[in-house]
Amino acid sequence: MSARSFVTIGLVGPDRTGAIAAVTQQLFRMGANIESLEEQVARGKFRMTLLASWPGAKLEERRIRSELEALARHLRMKLTLRLADGTRTRRRLALLVSKENHALEAILKNWKARRLAADPVMVAGNHPQLGKTARRYGLPFRLIDYRDRQKAELILQQHLDQFGVDLVVLARFMKILSPDFVWHWKNRILNIHPSLLPAFPGASAYRQAYDKGVKIVGVTAHFVTPDLDQGPILCQDALRLRPDEPLASIIARGQKLESACLLRALKLCLSRQLDVHWGRVHGV
Active site residue 244: no
* Chain Cα centroid distance, residue 65: 22
In this structure, how many other beta carbons lie within 10 angstroms of the beta carbon of residue 136?
11
Using DSSP's 3-state secondary structure scheme, residue 266 falls into helix
Distance CA 97, CA 170 (A): 6
Question: In which element (H, E) is residue 102 found?
Answer: helix 102-112
Phi, psi of 122 (to 5 degrees): -160, 155
Contact between 142 and 160 (Cβ < 8 Å): no
Contact between 116 and 38 (Cβ < 8 Å): no
Using DSSP's 3-state secondary structure scheme, residue 169 falls into strand
Distance CA 178, CA 228 (A): 10
Catalytic hit among 145, 180, 227, 229:
229
Contact between 113 and 49 (Cβ < 8 Å): no
**What sign results for the dihedral spanned by CA atoms 174, 133, 144, 61?**
negative
Catalytically active residues are 229
